[in-house]
């Protein structure tokens, strides 16, 4: 009986050691896979350098109001990219083509890109939309638009057809 108890103890210890090794390997694999997921998520986010490269449509010209990035900095005339949620840059208006850009109002079309963690949306998504800048006034010595209305063409990130953003 003693031999049996000893062999059970050895088998139990071996099983426990095998379980510990498998658990450690699995935990390490999860940790490493999450690191690569985080890296790819950062690359795929709307705020990537690829999206920001198209941003420079022009600086102040002919007294036209511009758009200040998240309400700060130098106003930009006819921006191609506007960050809608400045806290996390989870929603970004991109590829904006301005059809009309005047002293009181501007209108254009583009796409709202939503990062997977923003607004409860399951994956990175893009929503075609029309953009209307309004409320031109002088802020910190520069002429800027203070409001943005986004009207979605089809499905929307938050279920609304129109959203309003304060740009000042």
pLDDT of residue 5: 60
Distance CA 161, CA 29 (A): 42
pLDDT of residue 27: 53
Number of Cβ atoms within 10 Å of the Cβ of 164: 11
pTM, entire model: 0.61
Each residue's pLDDT tens digit, 60-114: 456 899 999 998 889 999 999 999 998 888 889 999 999 999 999 999 999 999 8
The rounded percent of the chain whose pLDDT value lies above 70 is 56
Residue with tokens 């400045």: 86
Cβ neighbours for 118, distance < 8 A, ≥ 6 positions apart: 85, 88, 90, 91, 157
Residue with tokens 């511009």: 66
Distance CA 83, CA 14 (A): 57
């Amino acid at each position: 009986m003693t031999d049996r108890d000893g062999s059970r103890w050895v088998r139990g210890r071996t099983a426990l050691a095998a379980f510990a090794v498998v658990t450690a390997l699995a935990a390490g694999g999860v940790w490493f896979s999450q690191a690569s997921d985080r890296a790819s998520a950062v690359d795929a986010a709307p705020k990537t350098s690829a999206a920001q490269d198209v941003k420079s449509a022009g600086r102040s010209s002919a007294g036209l109001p511009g758009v200040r990035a998240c309400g700060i900095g130098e106003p930009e005339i006819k921006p191609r990219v506007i960050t809608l949620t400045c806290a996390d840059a989870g929603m970004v208006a991109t590829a904006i083509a301005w059809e009309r850009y005047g002293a009181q109002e501007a209108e254009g079309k583009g796409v709202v890109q939503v990062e997977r963690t923003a607004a409860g949306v399951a994956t990175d998504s893009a929503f075609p939309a029309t953009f209307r800048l309004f409320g031109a006034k002088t802020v910190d010595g520069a002429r800027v638009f203070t409001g943005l209305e986004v009207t979605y063409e089809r499905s929307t990130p938050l279920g609304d057809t129109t959203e309003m953003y304060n740009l000042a």
